[in-house]
Homo-oligomer: A and B are copies of this chain.
């Protein structure tokens, strides 16, 4: 769990809090499970989520464990062509790029992980300690602010990376993210600044984002790195490490509103809130307290005081949290699906999405017109439908770019990348044999294959990745392992190899 905080929302209903958290340490198994559940949930949620909304509606199973089958369900249905595969991103979970076809993480949380801005680039992975239940714990630690994406920074990419590892299964999501990463980064720290807020961390349990932010920042900044690098500690840490937390706690807010609460989780914990129905308040609370231990908290909860105002608030509070999370998840999803993200800012994400959307439309127009006119000379000035194309410079080349200019290179979204775009490759070694790769370049025929070959030749097994090939070629490998026994690969080796393959992919 390192960075990635997955937050699961109960399968059937409530597992909100991060299941992933549970097994932080040991890694694999549980986490995965958690992830799946999350995914599962997601699906369900998606299906069901908006109610009549679009997302498929199928609630069914979900509940408890059956994540898997849920999934299968989808698959079946899936035949589902339509979907390109989005990355589902769950605000809570850090894995950003998930590509879920389903949109709605909301009810059932999903995973996601958004790249964070990477304040603390140095820290490779931030596992999340908190277990699901424990999750609360974590939250507490981090604190109230659990919210969605914030800047957090530090964990940013890490989160992404980490998560994936954790939940290889889910990994799928990451897909589209590429673009982002390309910019700089989604995968890793690559892009220092770009991704600001959204990053994955989002929420572990509840609000990974802030959580991450703070946690990361504080911890990282303050103390840290050492301890956290590999392990989960980060998250736990807060809990465990009183000091840092304290700082956080002090702020904890609670004081302000004062009361509220009622429920447990209240501030510190947050984690649960997502859980929705099944509130694990208790557990979480307990943990929280730990975390809360800091001064202020007491003021707040006092214990769990609920005496406060009326009873109702608590419920609403949870609901609101869920809502927020859902919204964030969607936002992340959108983000993951949009190639060129530019800023991680919420508004920017939205804006980028809009722009991208426009580009696509434009492109469609162009194609359409072309199609019509095609055969013959067509191209003329006529501009069939509307002036589509003339303008569309964007369509092809720089679609959205516009904005970008300045940041010209950084993100170049796959789309944007004119094919000519020189390849950009970022490689980051995770601990063990893990490798994160972010590659972005102009799309040229054969590049996909050549890249895959290159990776294969490098002895890397891609476990989690999202690759998109449109205008440009973008690949974000969230998790890959070196199966080739031999020596450890050096990032540069990988990089050059990939660049080479990109350079001469046509020759494939």
Contact = CB atoms under 8 A, between A and B. Distances in A.
A412 interface: yes
A504 interface: no
A307 interface: no
A449 B452 contact: yes
A345 B107 CA distance: 14
A390 B81 contact: yes
Interface in A331-381: 331, 333-334, 337-338, 340, 342-343, 345-348, 350-365, 367-368, 370-371, 374-375
A399 interface: yes
A443 to B, nearest CB: 7
A250 B81 CA distance: 51
Interface in A444-483: 445-446, 448-449, 452-453, 455-456, 461-474, 476, 483
Interface in A33-48: 35-36, 39-40, 42-43, 46-47
Contacts of A392: 81-82
Contact of A75 (B51, B102, B440): B440
Nearest to A442: B75
13 contacts: A43-B415, A52-B343, A54-B352, A81-B390, A83-B474, A98-B468, A100-B416, A171-B386, A175-B414, A327-B347, A334-B357, A353-B357, A364-B364
A277 interface: no
Given A56-B403, A175-B466, A327-B347, A412 B80 contact: yes
A54 B348 contact: yes
A367 B355 CA distance: 20
B471 A35 contact: yes
Interface string A421-457: 1001010000000000010110101101100110110
A448 to B, nearest CB: 5
A39 to B, nearest CB: 5
Given A98-B415, A333-B350, 16 more contacts: A53-B345, A55-B402, A56-B407, A75-B417, A78-B424, A79-B393, A85-B413, A85-B468, A101-B412, A171-B386, A356-B357, A364-B470, A367-B371, A449-B455, A449-B461, A465-B467
A321 interface: no
A326 to B, nearest CB: 5
A350 B360 CA distance: 17
A358 B81 contact: no
Contacts of A483: 445
A409 B390 CA distance: 39
Number of copies: 2
Find the residue from A84, A342, A361 having the highest chain B CB count within 10 A. Answer: A84
A74 B411 contact: yes
A361 B343 CA distance: 22
B466 A81 contact: no
A168 B470 contact: yes
Nearest to A43: B416
B82 A391 contact: yes
Contacts of A476: 81, 83-85
B413 A171 contact: no
Nearest to A401: B82
Contacts of A122: none
A350 B371 contact: no
Contact of A463 (B54, B172, B326, B445): B445
A118 interface: no
Contacts of A171: 386, 443, 468-471
Going nearest first, the 8 A-B pairs with the smallest beta carbon separation are A54-B403, A78-B412, A77-B409, A172-B470, A171-B470, A81-B391, A84-B358, A101-B413
A474 B85 contact: yes
B411 A78 contact: yes
Interface in A170-199: 170-176
A493 interface: no
